Amino acid sequence: MVSEKTIATIKATVPLLQTGGEALTQHFYKRMFSHNPEVLTLFNPAHQATGHQQKALAGAICAYAANIDNLEALGSAVELIAQKHVSLRIKPEHYPIVGENLLASIKEVLGDVATPEVLDAWGQAYDFLADILIKREATIYSEQLNAEGGWEDFKKFKVIKKEKESDVITSFYFKPEDGGSVPTFKPGQYITVRVPTANGSTTMRNYSLSNKPGSDYFRISVKREDGSVEGTPSGYVSNLLHNSIDVGDVVELAPPCGEFFIDPAEKSERPLVLLAAGVGITPILSMLLAVTEANPDRKTYFIHANLHELRHAFGKTIDELAKATPNLKVHYCYSDPVPDGVERILSKEISTGFVDGPLLESVVGGFDADYYFCGPSPFMTEIIRELHNRRVPESQIHFEFFGPREELEAIKQAAQ
């Protein structure tokens, strides 16, 4: 356990971290990549370029320092970090590299403030957290290896099908190259794709599984990121998949991970509300497919928001599912004008605008339900704000955010 003296010293550094945490983490990453370039492949360069990774680490350090005397408050964050680390194949030998560079960065950035007492306290605190994560990650690695069809690290999978779902989303179906079985997963989880880079190295990305568990293949549905949004670079891996990976090609995959999932067979008197915006449909679709198969009697609402019809993925699949599932109610919402050559007929199932309180009330009715949702930050902010305003218990609110985790705090604050 961390001593009372260490706790007091760490908490005393919180104001410094709140004002200078981002500068510290920027220095940390530059230092680590310079001194230990072997860890470069573990990080997303796009998040480095935009500063998202630096902000994420700064937020995590501040949260840890502020809650070091109440680590139960960080329970969900610890699980998220452990799952993410396993997805990227972080191992115990990587922790000393991070620790050494973090302590050195604290000393180099904070200067005289980083007294031997402060450095010793942060060294103890880091080792304590590292031990928690290493033990949890060891359990996850063991579960992955011992699962039926499971494996360790990365395994070669062949692309057996490539299917265009919208003007920016394409699905990729994978089976093991060695002909082995595909392990099951929890609906909502993701896998990691590792591909080569132009400089002879590799890079990794996480993609949600969009098919239901129990299939004899994995399916991911990838949005092509073209960098059209200011400050956002083009996605290297998404463009590689869309433009260069075809049926018959082989890619490397790591086993399924993730703490955002649903138990499809769970019995509940409350309705289930599944909400997605854009490519946020990928984990939500896996949930929908699993729930309607395992628990078709549960009242389920599915709402999918898109810019317009050409961006709308899986519409045919969901329409057919709704026809076969009486307890499933589907609604589509479009925020942009109708594209040329497309007809939009507004109805109880199709609307123009955004997913907000009035829409939820008109589609779902009451707000006492279990909510699972995923999408970009404006969508997430609106949903969280509305559910909080309606006093929906936190235990009934579940979501996955595509992007650096530190933005979640901004979303929660905006929702209050």
User: Is the separation of the CB atoms in 296 and 264 below 8 Å?
Assistant: no
Q: Are residues 60 and 195 in the same domain?
A: no
* Residue 176 CA to its chain's centroid (Å): 24
Q: Are residues 251 and 290 in the same domain?
A: no
What pLDDT sits at residue 409? Answer: 57
Phi, psi of 366, deg, nearest 5: -75, 165
Task: Express each pLDDT in 342-369 by its tens digit.
Answer: 999 999 899 999 999 999 999 998 889 9
Task: Express each pLDDT in 321-331 by its tens digit.
Answer: 999 999 999 99
Binding-site residues for heme b, in ranges, read: 85
Does any domain span residue 380? yes
State the Cα–Cα distance between residues 124 and 7, nearest whole angstrom.
10
State the Cα–Cα distance between residues 393 and 383, nearest whole angstrom.
14
User: Is the separation of the CB atoms in 415 and 356 below 8 Å?
Assistant: no
Does any domain span residue 229? yes
| AA identity, residue 341 | G
State the Cα–Cα distance between residues 372 and 284, nearest whole angstrom.
7
- Find the domain containing 208 and state its range: 155-257
Which residues 6+ apart lie within 8 Å of 139 measured at CB?
A: none
Q: Tell me, yes or no, if 334 is annotated catalytic.
A: no
Out of 22, 137, 165, 259, pick the active-site residue. 137
What pLDDT sits at residue 233? Answer: 66
The CATH number for 369's domain is 3.40.50.80
* Residue 327 CA to its chain's centroid (Å): 29
Nearest Cα residue to 207 out of 223, 195, 196, 227: 223
What pLDDT sits at residue 52? Answer: 72
Confidence grade of residue 63 (pLDDT, cut at 50, 70, 90)? confident
User: Is the separation of the CB atoms in 36 and 101 below 8 Å?
Assistant: yes
Which residues 6+ apart lie within 8 Å of 336 measured at CB?
A: 307, 308
Q: Are residues 121 and 16 in the same domain?
A: yes
State the Cα–Cα distance between residues 363 and 341, nearest whole angstrom.
28
Q: Are residues 97 and 221 in the same domain?
A: no
pLDDT above 70 coverage of the chain, percent: 94
Task: Express each pLDDT in 241-276 by its tens digit.
Answer: 999 999 999 999 999 999 999 999 999 999 999 999
Read off the DSSP letter of residue 70. -
Which is it for strands 202-208 and 190-196: parallel, antiparallel or unpaired?
antiparallel
Global pTM reads: 0.92
Q: Given a cut of 60, is residue 155 above it in pLDDT?
A: yes
Out of 64, 95, 332, 371, pick the active-site residue. 95
Does any domain span residue 265? no
Q: Are residues 238 and 292 in the same domain?
A: no
What pLDDT sits at residue 45? Answer: 76
Does any domain span residue 264? no
Confidence grade of residue 17 (pLDDT, cut at 50, 70, 90)? confident
User: Is the separation of the CB atoms in 131 and 53 below 8 Å?
Assistant: no
User: How large is the angle between the packed helices 14-35 and 95-110, nearest 10 degrees?
Assistant: 120
Return the beta strands (E) in 313-406 as ranges.
328-334, 350-352, 370-375, 397-401
User: Is the separation of the CB atoms in 357 and 389 below 8 Å?
Assistant: yes
What pLDDT sits at residue 75? Answer: 76
Q: Are residues 19 and 135 in the same domain?
A: yes
pLDDT above 90 coverage of the chain, percent: 72
User: Is the separation of the CB atoms in 218 and 182 below 8 Å?
Assistant: yes
Number of domains observed in the structure of the chain: 3
Q: Tell me, yes or no, if 38 is annotated catalytic.
A: no
User: Is the separation of the CB atoms in 312 and 285 below 8 Å?
Assistant: no
Provide the β-strand partners of residue 332. 304, 350
Does any domain span residue 240? yes
Between the alpha carbon of residue 248 and those of residues 159, 235, 259, the distances in Å are 5, 23, 31
Which residues 6+ apart lie within 8 Å of 155 measured at CB?
A: 176, 177, 178, 252, 253, 254
The CATH number for 208's domain is 2.40.30.10
Task: Express each pLDDT in 274-298 by its tens digit.
Answer: 999 999 999 999 999 999 999 999 9
State the Cα–Cα distance between residues 222 and 235, nearest whole angstrom.
11
Binding-site residues for NADP(+), in ranges, read: 278-283
Binding-site residues, in ranges, read: 85, 190, 205-208, 278-283, 401-404
| Domain limit, last residue, from 225, 257, 289 | 257
Binding-site residues for FAD, in ranges, read: 190, 205-208, 401-404
State the Cα–Cα distance between residues 262 and 372, nearest whole angstrom.
8
Confidence grade of residue 402 (pLDDT, cut at 50, 70, 90)? low
